[in-house]
Amino acid sequence: MNEVHRITIETARPRPRESFPGRIETGFYVFTEGSVILTDEQGRPLGGDGTKRFIGLDGHHRNVACMMLRSRRRNSHSLADFAAPISYQRSKYL
């Protein structure tokens, strides 16, 4: 069994003037046979495209895993805007 590594990426920077603490996303990966594979907490591979990348045995697997997680988040429309603020048009009746 391969060791499951935890990674954290920043998805929104903190804005102290607005009292916004920022936002992060946590992911997991394993490094095996020269490949980085995005997984869940238990080490089960995630489904979909872009969850496995061959980098060789001497690659920087943590950096590659962070880039893969960021790309997966950016391409996932259902999750990317889930916690984003909702903007409403001003009503002319108020």
pLDDT given for residue 7 in this prediction: 94
More confident residue, 45 or 85: 45
* Interval 4-18: pLDDT, tens: 999 999 988 899 888
Q: Which residues of 38-72 are buried (b: 16+ CB within 10 A; e: fewer)?
A: bbeeeeeebeeeebebeeeeeeebeebbbebbbeb
Overall pTM surpassing 0.75 (yes/no): no
pLDDT given for residue 81 in this prediction: 58
Instruction: Name the band, by pLDDT with cuts 50, 70 and 90, for residue 74.
Output: confident
pLDDT surpassing 70 at residue 84 = no
| Distance, CA of 74 to CA of 80 (rounded, Å) | 6
Mean per-residue pLDDT of the chain = 82
